[in-house]
Amino acid sequence: MLVLITGGVRSGKSFFAEKLAHAMSDNKTYIATAVPYDEEMKNRILHHKNSRKDSGFVTIEQPYNIEEAVKNIDEKSTVLLECLGTLITNELLKQKKDTSDNDIYKKIYDGIFKINEKVQNLIVVSNEVFSEGKEYDEITEKFLDIMAKTHYGIAKHADIIVECVYGLTVIIKGENLLNEVLV
């Protein structure tokens, strides 16, 4: 089963994703994509690690090259990938000058679906960043383009899509399936 969970910063998407992972399986893997670039990010990573402590997740730190995580994942597991936006940012910041946006998109998209093909369930957590409607600098525009393409590709194949807003879940796709999992 493929699940896409989106939402703004501190919208409850991580909490909901972890709750869903627990409902799906006792065999859980957490793919963490964050790199502690600054003090705020270090604190957020620590908060997430503490919230998962004693929760049964096996954690894989994979801030780049998401396809490489496949080697370390049990095929019977439910995988929670947190977070797509961070993964895209990491890949953009380390890209070589001759790397196209489409190369980054394809690398991430293919890696996600490589994981999805191997495991029982994949939950992808991402950011809702498309509501501002203003012009940005070149790197932000690249990020938004890659994020939009990746969201579209995952959504097309997802069994369940949820957007978290103010701690509430808005079910976009797969309501009956989600209700079955959460029973």
The C-alpha atoms of residue 63 and residue 110 are separated, in whole angstroms, by 16
**Parent domain of 39:** 2-182
E strand segments, the chain: 2-7, 28-32, 57-61, 78-82, 121-125, 160-165, 168-173
Q: Per-residue pLDDT for 99 more than 80?
A: no
What is the predicted pLDDT for the residue at 135? 81
Task: Kindly state the percentage of the chain with pLDDT values over 90.
Answer: 72
Q: What is the pLDDT of residue 80?
A: 98
What's residue 41's pLDDT? Answer: 83
Determine the pLDDT at residue 100: 86
Pairing outcome for strands 2-7 and 28-32: unpaired
Q: Does the structure show a pLDDT above 80 at 126?
A: yes
Q: State mean pLDDT over 18-31.
A: 96
List, for residues 32-51, the tens digit of each pLDDT value.
999 888 898 889 888 878 87
Assign residue 34 the CATH number of its domain: 3.40.50.300
Please say if the pLDDT value at position 95 is more than 90. no
123: pLDDT confidence band, cut at 50, 70 and 90?
Answer: very high
Q: Among 151, 160, 138, which residue's Cα sits nearest to residue 112?
A: 151
Number of structural domains found in the chain: 1
Q: Which amino acid is at 14?
A: S
What are the CA-CA distances from residue 133 to residues 13, 25, 50, 129 (Å)? 22, 39, 35, 10
Q: What does the mean pLDDT of the chain come to? A: 92
pLDDT class of 161 with cuts at 50, 70, 90: very high
Please check whether residue 178 is in contact with residue 160, taking contact to mean a CB–CB distance below 8 angstroms: yes
Average pLDDT over residues 60-71: 95
Rounded to whole angstroms, the Cα distance separating 49 from 43 reads 10
